[in-house]
Amino acid sequence: MGLWSDLPAWQLVLVTLGLTHITIAAVTIFLHRTQAHRALDLGAIPSHFFRFWLWLTTGMVTREWVAIHRKHHAKCETADDPHSPKTRGLHTVLWLGAWLYRQESKNQETLEKYGKGTPDDWLERHLYTPYPWLGITLMLTIDLLLFGLPGILVWLVQMVWIPFWAAGVINGLAHFWGYRNWNTTDASTNISPIGILIGGEELHNNHHAFASSARLSNRWYEFDIGWFYIRVLETLHMAKVRKLAPRLRINPNKQVADSDTVSAILGNRLQVLSNFARQVIKPVTKAELRHQVILAESQTIQTVYQFQQRLYQLWERTTISQEARLEAIQEWISAAEQTGISALEKFAHRLRGYSVIH
């Protein structure tokens, strides 16, 4: 008999979900945002707690997880990506994600190249790294003492939670299905705008667009519960955010592009080009198709394409002065506003008012 072995089934389910959610929080806050991407600094108390909890509930070694994740970003969607569904197949990553993780964790070259800067104290060297099995065995013992025989079920759920949701769903579905805010070079997607079940990791396309950001939400309708927890830790002086994704602010009343506009545009290439695709290319293409215009012969589409290429050139001309960049942007805006293409004219007007907030 366990201490809480008489809990009703529904309460046992809630307790189990609570325990697994702590594990999710530990993965996203400690392993992912703090260790892998250095997006924030954690105080000693939450840092050690998360590390200990992950040892109990997953047996994962910090250095291994960090190295594999960093390699995923460096080699994304290539044959060297440890878990890309584009190269390994969705079903393989979704159902065998934990196996792919274990295989890559044996690659010493990966660990040495991508695992730098992770904890290397006495606990890591003498307990967490050499004895990962001891943590999950201790967790089983604790579950049995607390819940009796039902504790075995609680423990099994804890053991499969991260392999399925993180190694499977995030690494698999989040590179296969969902919506995209940003036109990144990889296939990352946002599975859901409400990031609760997997701690905010549902917003995976946002993460790949701004990998070093401590906040994974970008749009007003997106919610990242991991970011909420980080803000709570900040309030308690147990965390310090180091990096956030920049956010473009638009002043619709600005009449002339200035140096602030230049900095906002050139410093946020991904956002500007993604906005161009969403605000210009998509509506213009739909309008042309409604009028049964063959796209290859559409003068409007050709004009939009030419302005897109001129927009790309703003980042390619790296040797010109800031004054020349400002002149090029002002010329682009002026020319775009005279095309007679409504979506392009609106985009140019918005572009003039760009500035950056954090």
Per-residue pLDDT of the chain (358 residues; tens, 9 = 90+): 677 778 899 999 999 999 999 999 999 999 999 999 999 999 999 999 999 999 999 999 999 999 999 999 999 999 999 999 999 999 999 999 999 999 999 999 999 999 999 999 999 999 999 999 999 999 999 999 999 999 999 999 999 999 999 999 999 999 999 999 888 889 999 999 999 999 999 999 999 999 999 999 988 999 999 999 999 999 999 999 999 988 777 878 888 888 888 878 877 777 888 888 888 888 888 887 777 666 666 888 888 888 888 888 887 766 677 788 888 888 888 898 899 999 988 988 888 888 876 5
Residue where a domain terminates, one of 216, 245, 274: 245
Q: Is residue 3 part of a domain?
A: no
Domain enclosing residue 268, as ranges: 248-357
| Residue 1 domain-assigned (yes or no) | no
Are 241 and 259 in the same domain? no
**What residue has token string 């589409």?**
301
Claim to verify: residue 60 and residue 102 sit in the same structural domain: yes
Buried b (16+ CB within 10 A) or exposed e, 304-314: beebbeebeeb
18 in helix, strand or coil? Answer: helix
Q: How far apart are CA 101 and CA 329, in angstroms?
A: 46
Final residue of a structural domain among 195, 213, 245? 245
Where is the domain boundary, 227, 245, 263?
245
Q: State whether residue 196 is helix, strand or coil.
A: coil
Please state, as a whole number, how many other Cβ atoms lie within 10 Å of the Cβ of residue 179. 10
Asked if residue 175 and residue 53 are part of one domain, the reply reads yes
Structure tokens at 317: 């001309």
What global pTM score does this model have?
A: 0.84
Within-domain flag for 210: yes
Q: What's the structural domain count of the chain?
A: 2
Say if residue 57 is exposed, middle or buried (CB neighbours under 10 Å; 0-12, 13-18, 19+). Answer: buried
The answer on 320 and 217 residing in a single domain is no
Q: Kindly state whether residues 220 and 97 are assigned to the same domain.
A: yes
Instruction: Say if CB 243 and CB 214 are below 8 A apart.
Output: yes
- 92 and 215 share one domain: yes
